[in-house]
């Protein structure tokens, strides 16, 4: 919906202007494929980095548990 407003659907002149020589001009409803791919990529990168940081955090917690167990044994 926001994308449709930005590119001028329902407005006298669009807020965002695209150079028609630089885009594919393939749309999913009113959304340009380039915009959809960009948005999807941003979303997936957030999930990817979240998972990577989660793995690092889990490893650190495991190391902390091992250290505390060894200290308890002493």
How far apart are alpha carbons 27 and 42 in whole angstroms?
19
Task: Look at residue 64 in the predicted model and tell me its pLDDT.
Answer: 78
pLDDT tens-digit readout, 12-27: 777 777 888 998 989 8
Task: Look at residue 63 in the predicted model and tell me its pLDDT.
Answer: 80
Task: Look at residue 9 in the predicted model and tell me its pLDDT.
Answer: 65
Q: Which parts of the chain fold into alpha helices (H)?
A: 2-6, 33-73
Q: Which range, 9-13, 34-38, 49-53, is most confident?
A: 49-53
Given a cut of 60, whether residue 1 has pLDDT beyond it is no
């Amino acid at each position: 919906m926001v994308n449709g407003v930005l590119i001028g659907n329902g407005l006298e002149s669009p807020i965002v202007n695209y150079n028609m020589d630089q885009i594919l001009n393939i749309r999913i409803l009113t959304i340009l494929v380039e915009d959809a791919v960009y948005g999807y990529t941003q979303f997936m990168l957030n999930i990817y980095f979240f998972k990577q940081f989660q793995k690092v955090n889990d490893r650190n917690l495991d190391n902390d548990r091992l250290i505390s167990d060894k200290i308890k044994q002493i």
